[in-house]
Structures are given as structure tokens and as C-alpha cells.
Chains A and B, each alone.
Chain A
Amino acid sequence: MTQEKVSALEAVSDTYHYGFETQISAETAPKGLNEEIIRFISAKKKEPEWLLEFRLKAYRHWLTMKEPTWAKVSYPPIDYQDIYYYAAPKSAESPKSLDEVDPELLKTYDKLGVPLHEREVLAGVAVDAVFDSVSVATTFREKLARQGIIFCSISEAVQNHPELVKKYLGSVVPYTDNFFACLNSAVFTDGTFVYIPKGIRCPMELSTYFRINAKKSGQFERTMIIADDNSYVSYLEGCTAPQRDENQLHAAIVEIIVMNDAEVKYSTVQNWYPGDKEGKGGIYNFVTKRGLCKGVNAKLSWTQVETGSAVTWKYPSCVLAGDNSVGEFYSVAITNNYQQADTGTKMIHIGKNTSSTIVSKGISAGKSQNTYRGLVKMGRNAENARNFSQCDSLLIGSQCGAHTLPYMISSNPSASVEHEATTSKISDEQLFYCRQRGLDAEEAVSLIVNGFCKDVMQKLPMEFAVEATRLVAVTLEGSVG
């Protein structure tokens, strides 16, 4: 695509700045899903026998499953035979270094604000770039390897560290877990693999940038993070997709394992294409994210800023198995126009003295629907476990909806669960006050919304916080008028 075309497209799509398409020849598997396609993907990736078996088992189980309908979202039926399950830029067959990466791809990431040249990259952030089904570049890997940190695509991990992948794949999210996780287990194509060895504090932020480009393709990535005893890592995930009229499916799995005294901080800024003002197009974001605090004193913290996607179905969760382990969930979910989000978390307390904190901020504008759905479960042995949940909703206009659905199950009398919820509207008085000081209506809304979700934004790493604040403004464009 020429520069002129890109600018013209950006001018038309004044709100979604990442809606361009990269013209790059792609290798795709034939459309549709069957055992042949799964064998094709597995062969393409030169996978060992056990992994093909894992995929086929998942696929056969998936055939017996039904798509879930309990979420407060509605969308036309998905034709799973009308999707490409494998799309890879032709040039991307395992480039050995950044110099071998197709310049078109480097340009694409530059334009997305994710430069892959190590000398230009934001200081202190290593990036794995996933384009459609494959990882096209991973920066700073050698520097990290010197400390024993493994940061690579999951395909490479399968080749180079099969013992780790085999041990943990499906250990937190089994393929039988749910419909979309099962589908992912059958057809996942790439994703990021992170291993932090004992006693190591990862010296930089690790980050994956997901980009869907090919038409009619789904993205099924799989991310696995293992933090060994007494280690620490902060991981960031970002994503965008071109602007298209049809809906595209994104069904990912993230599995995290946190050992004794280790800590993982996982931050997401989700900016998939949300569809246009009439609700046409956009990404279906059906994602299963779960972490296991396996060791004592393990800590897992999820921070998410969800601004994109037509439909979001996502519940990053913590299984607090280790005694004294800590789970946190900080979420901002913003929906505008016809977007639908059903998102929240699950905190499963198993060990003694485990504690969890949930802070959820939902903002709905336009004709959108925004649901918080959360489960706090105190197991029989969760002596003195504690949870605190705070769920706040903010409504902009009168045609949107906000819903809070907290589920609490306690099987241990010494456990305590606290839940607070509020719903508010941006008042005419607040808007008048801001505008009287010189802000226009959209600036005023974005300022008020950023104030509303400040508690969560503060949890984001610096580089992401600026981006997230700007995204709030972009997402809410046209929400007042």
C-alpha cells in the first residue's frame, strides 16, 4: 500500500489510527477446520509428535462442545469453516536476525509505534512481534539469554525447550476448559514464551505486540510465562488490527505459572479494531487468561485496559494455590458505539492466608453494553483468605448499559470477602464546569474518565500509561454531542 493510500485511509478512519493493511504476500492454509488443517499447521511448524497429539485431542473434544451463551453479549453465529487458521507472511520463515526481517513488516511496526530496531526501541522494553499467525521478530533475546531468561516465540520454545513446554502446556488452562480455549489448543499458531530462572529479576519489560493483518483469518496465539522461585518479570501486551467490514476472531490463551516468592505483573492495552459507528466489523476477542500461583508467597497481578474489539469475552484469573499467595486484577474497560464487553476475573483461593484485590472500572458510552463478571471462591482450606473487590461503572449518555455481576462462594468461615460497587454518570454540571474553564466537551469527558480510572492507570508501566490515557480520549471520540 502506498503512503498516500495509507494517509487517505487514516483520514477517513479518524478515530481508529491502526486500521491500515500491510500489502505482504502471505502463505495461508486452506480455509476451514479439520484434522488435515491441524496436521498441516503442526507440520509447518515441524512439531514433535506429542504436540500434534495434544492438538488432535483438543480438536476432537472441541467437536463435542457448544459455544457458550451465558455472557451478556450477542453476535451472529460464527462460521468456523469460513476462517483461515494459518496465515503467515511468506518472508517470515524464521528470520535469524532483525536484518532478515521483511522491511514491509518493520515498516508496519514502526507505523504502529513499535519500532523493532533495538537501537531505536524504547529503552528497557524487549518486544516479540506476532504478525497474524507467526512471531516475526523478538528483540533483545541475546542480552536476556545471558541471565538465563528465555524470551522467544512459543514455536521456537517447542523446538529448543520442549521439556518446559510439555510440562506446562495446558497445566493451567486445560484444553477441556472452555469452547474457545479448546479451539485454541487445537489450532494455536504462535505466541510468546517466557521463562525467568530462579532468583532472577528480569532487567527489562518484556512485551508482545499482536497484529492481525490477513483477511478472514483468525488469530489463535498462546502465551506462556513461567516465573521460577524468587524471580520477577513485568510483561506487556498490545494489539491492533486493520479496519474491515467483517468480524475477525481472536481466541488466545495465556498461561502463567508463578513459583515460590516469585512475582509476575501482566499488563494489557487492548486496542483491537472495535467496528465502525454502526457496529459493522471489528474483532471478537474471546480470550482465556489464567495464572497459577503455585508456590508460597507467589504474586500475580493483571492490569488491563480494554478499549477495542467489537465483542470482548475475557476473565484474567488467579488460582491462588500457594499459601500466602497474592492475586490482583486491575481493569479499565471502555465501550462506545455498539461495542460489547463482558469481562472480569476469577480469584480462586485454595491456599492459606491468600489474598486478592479486584478493582474494575467500566465506562460505557454510545449504545454499548459493558458487564463486569467476577467470581471470588474461597476453598475449604483457604484459612484466613481475604478478598476486596471494588467495581465502579460510569455511564456516558442514556443509551448504554452497565452491569455488575459478582459471584462469591465461600467454603471457609475464616475467609473474608468484601465487595463495593458504584454506578455514576458524567453529570451535566461536571461538563459545564470543565467547559467553563475552556475544555471542549470531548476533552472534558476524557479528563473525567481518566480521573475515574486513575487507580488502575497508575498500575500500568510508564510507557503504557501515556498510551492508555491517549486511547481513552480516542475511544470516547463522538460520545458527547
Chain B
Amino acid sequence: MSAWLEIKDLHAKVGDKPILNGLSLSINAGEVHVIMGPNGSGKSTLSNVLCGNPHYEVTGGSVIFKGKNLLDMTVEERARTGIFLAFQHPIEIPGVSMATFMKYALNSQRKAAGEKELDAVSFMKRIKIRSQALEISDEMLKRPVNVGFSGGEKKRLEVFQMAVLEPDFCILDEMDSGLDVDAVKVAGNGVKIMRSPQRSFLVISHNIKFLKEQIMPDKIHILVHGRVVAEGDQGLLDKIDRSGFSEYQKEAVA
């Protein structure tokens, strides 16, 4: 069986600046992978490119997801195929409540899949179960998307959206950054609840404690200058914890 997600020799740039320089990695269904690397190594670029952010230009390589050529698809087509990005910096949408936002998103996805749109009652049921599990109050769901929330609340709402939309492939871009210990736990819990043999994760983080205690990944990839320079299991986390990335950075330059 070929991999669930297969990235081969991916090149991408922003403006004139190449950021991904031949990145390859593959993820199987049900696996949790982690991407680590020094600042500017292309971690966030990778997550944006996978989602089709038009700000980034793909200049080479291929991405196959569930047998489909991802790079040929629009942003929303990718989302409807089951790709979800938990944003590092969630975007504000004034005047639109989180509940309304999720209703539109969910029904757009259902319509694209040829399913019936959810009526108000079944929709409320669906979000209630998930908001309770993630300690999100009704008040938060009524407030406009990401407007006036603390960093921790925003991240929790990203996990909440993930839980509502039930994507097959979740990319978490620095989910834990700027969160206090409790908030990190809630975010980590969300991921734990969501884990299933049919769902894969790609987690970008610097926080080794968070990764070891909350995420418990199957595989770690070290990214330097837009390429994967090392891969390994959780043992690699301890190594990074002791000596950082300098060894890999030297190799990449040489």
C-alpha cells in the first residue's frame, strides 16, 4: 500500500526567495508525525503549501494525498478532501460568530461531498458535544471569530474547529506556542481525542515536553534549509533536547 500522504522533492518559494528545496516525506494513515527545525527552515511554509496558500509558489515536486494530486487542487478543494490547518496566528473575521462560521464551513464541505446540509438542530448538537469536551463556553461560540480572544483561547478554538470538521489530515502549526501549561494540556487533549486509525497528524513544534507528553509522535523529521535532513522515532527528541540543531545545520551547509 502506498503512503496516505506522499511528498516528493517539493520546491517552493515566496517572491524570489526559495524556501523549500527538495523536501520529501511520507505519512501513513493513523500516524502522528512531527516537524522540527531551526527558524526559517521552512516549517510554516510547508504547512501553507500543503493547504494551497496562494502567497507561496510551488516550483517543483509532487504531493499525493489519498491518491489525489494535491497541487492541482484549490484551497477549498483540499480542505474538502480532508486537510485541516490549525493556524499559528488565527485570523479575525469581525461580525461573524464562531458558530456561524462553522455552520458555513461544515455545510460547504457537506455540499461538496454530496451530503445533505445540517439543519440548525443537528448542527447545534454536533458543536455542543465538542465544545464541552474542549471547555469552550457558548459565549465564546457567539463571539466573532478570533476577535478579542487570548492566545490560548484562539488555539483552543482552532482545535475545536478541527473537532467539528473531522478532517482526515491535521496540520498543527505551533499549536503550543504562547500557551500556558493548562492551555497546552487542553490543546494536547484535543489531539488525543481526535487520534484514530483513519486520521493522520503533522505537528510543528519546538516544545519537546509538549511533544513527548501530549503528542507522542510516531516519527520525527528534522527540517533544515527546506529539506528533511534527519528522521527518527521519539529518541530523536531527546537528542535535540540535548544538543539542538547545530549538527544538522552544519551538514546542510556542507
| Beta-carbon contacts under 8 Å, A438-481 to B | 438-441, 443, 447-448, 450-455
Do A430 and B51 touch across chains, with their CB atoms under 8 A apart? no
Q: Residue A92 at the B interface, CB < 8 A?
A: no
Kindly supply a per-residue 1/0 record for chain B positions 78-121, scoring 1 wherever the CB is within 8 Å of any chain A CB and 0 otherwise. Answer: 01100011010011111110001100111011001000000000
Q: Residue B209 at the A interface, CB < 8 A?
A: no
- What's the Cα separation between A450 and B101 when bound, in Å? 11
Do B105 and A438 touch across chains, with their CB atoms under 8 A apart? yes
| Beta-carbon contacts under 8 Å, A400-459 to B | 427-430, 432-441, 443, 447-448, 450-455
- What's the Cα separation between A95 and B140 when bound, in Å? 55
**Which A residue sits closest to B89, measured CB to CB?**
A429
- What's the Cα separation between A441 and B79 when bound, in Å? 13
Query: A438-B79, A438-B112, A440-B108 known; A432 and B53 CB under 8 Å?
Result: yes
The residue from B75, B79, B96, B165 contacting A447, defined by CB atoms under 8 A apart: B96
Do B76 and A452 touch across chains, with their CB atoms under 8 A apart? no
How far in angstroms is the closest Cβ of chain A from B15? 14
- What's the Cα separation between A432 and B56 when bound, in Å? 12
Do A448 and B104 touch across chains, with their CB atoms under 8 A apart? no
How far in angstroms is the closest Cβ of chain B from A396? 15
Q: Cβ of A443: which chain B residues have Cβ within 8 Å of it?
A: 104, 108
The 10 closest A-B pairs by CB, nearest first: A451-B95, A451-B96, A437-B105, A435-B75, A454-B95, A433-B91, A438-B109, A438-B79, A438-B108, A435-B76
- What's the Cα separation between A451 and B112 when bound, in Å? 24
Q: Cβ of B54: which chain A residues have Cβ within 8 Å of it?
A: 428, 432
A434-B101, A437-B101 known; 5 new pairs, CB 8 Å cut-off, are A435-B75, A436-B51, A443-B104, A448-B93, A453-B95
- What's the Cα separation between A428 and B106 when bound, in Å? 21
A-B contact pairs, 9 of them (CB 8 A): A433-B93, A434-B93, A434-B105, A437-B79, A438-B106, A438-B108, A439-B104, A440-B74, A454-B95
Instruction: Tell me the A residues contacting B by CB distance below 8 Å.
Output: 427-430, 432-441, 443, 447-448, 450-455
Q: Residue B161 at the A interface, CB < 8 A?
A: yes
Q: Cβ of B30: which chain A residues have Cβ within 8 Å of it?
A: none
Q: Residue B217 at the A interface, CB < 8 A?
A: no
Q: Residue B144 at the A interface, CB < 8 A?
A: yes
Q: Residue B142 at the A interface, CB < 8 A?
A: no
- What's the Cα separation between A346 and B109 when bound, in Å? 45
Do B91 and A437 touch across chains, with their CB atoms under 8 A apart? no
- What's the Cα separation between A332 and B11 when bound, in Å? 45
How far in angstroms is the closest Cβ of chain A from B247? 35
Q: Cβ of A437: which chain B residues have Cβ within 8 Å of it?
A: 79, 101, 105, 108, 161, 165
Q: Residue B192 at the A interface, CB < 8 A?
A: no
Q: Cβ of A428: which chain B residues have Cβ within 8 Å of it?
A: 54-55
Q: Cβ of B144: which chain A residues have Cβ within 8 Å of it?
A: 451
- What's the Cα separation between A436 and B91 when bound, in Å? 12
How far in angstroms is the closest Cβ of chain B from A439? 5
How far in angstroms is the closest Cβ of chain A from B187? 18
The residue from B90, B104, B108 contacting A433, defined by CB atoms under 8 A apart: B90
Q: Cβ of B104: which chain A residues have Cβ within 8 Å of it?
A: 439, 443, 447
- What's the Cα separation between A222 and B188 when bound, in Å? 65
- What's the Cα separation between A161 and B95 when bound, in Å? 46
Query: A432-B53, A447-B104 known; A439 and B76 CB under 8 Å?
Result: yes
- What's the Cα separation between A429 and B100 when bound, in Å? 19
- What's the Cα separation between A443 and B85 when bound, in Å? 19
Q: Cβ of A432: which chain B residues have Cβ within 8 Å of it?
A: 51, 53-55, 75, 91
- What's the Cα separation between A437 and B76 when bound, in Å? 7
**Which B residue sits closest to A435, measured CB to CB?**
B75
Do A430 and B76 touch across chains, with their CB atoms under 8 A apart? no
Q: Cβ of A447: which chain B residues have Cβ within 8 Å of it?
A: 93, 96, 100-101, 104
Q: Cβ of B94: which chain A residues have Cβ within 8 Å of it?
A: 451-452
Do A436 and B85 touch across chains, with their CB atoms under 8 A apart? yes
- What's the Cα separation between A440 and B108 when bound, in Å? 8
Do B85 and A451 touch across chains, with their CB atoms under 8 A apart? no
The residue from B85, B87, B108, B161 contacting A439, defined by CB atoms under 8 A apart: B108
Q: Cβ of A455: which chain B residues have Cβ within 8 Å of it?
A: 95
Q: Cβ of B109: which chain A residues have Cβ within 8 Å of it?
A: 438
- What's the Cα separation between A454 and B109 when bound, in Å? 24
How far in angstroms is the closest Cβ of chain B from A305? 15
How far in angstroms is the closest Cβ of chain A from B206? 23
- What's the Cα separation between A438 and B161 when bound, in Å? 12
Q: Cβ of A453: which chain B residues have Cβ within 8 Å of it?
A: 95
**Which B residue sits closest to A437, measured CB to CB?**
B105
The residue from B53, B76, B96, B165 contacting A440, defined by CB atoms under 8 A apart: B76
**Which B residue sits closest to A446, measured CB to CB?**
B104
How far in angstroms is the closest Cβ of chain A from B109? 4
Do A451 and B93 touch across chains, with their CB atoms under 8 A apart? yes
How far in angstroms is the closest Cβ of chain A from B148? 14
The residue from A429, A441, A452 contacting B95, defined by CB atoms under 8 A apart: A452
Q: Cβ of B87: which chain A residues have Cβ within 8 Å of it?
A: 433
How far in angstroms is the closest Cβ of chain A from B216? 26
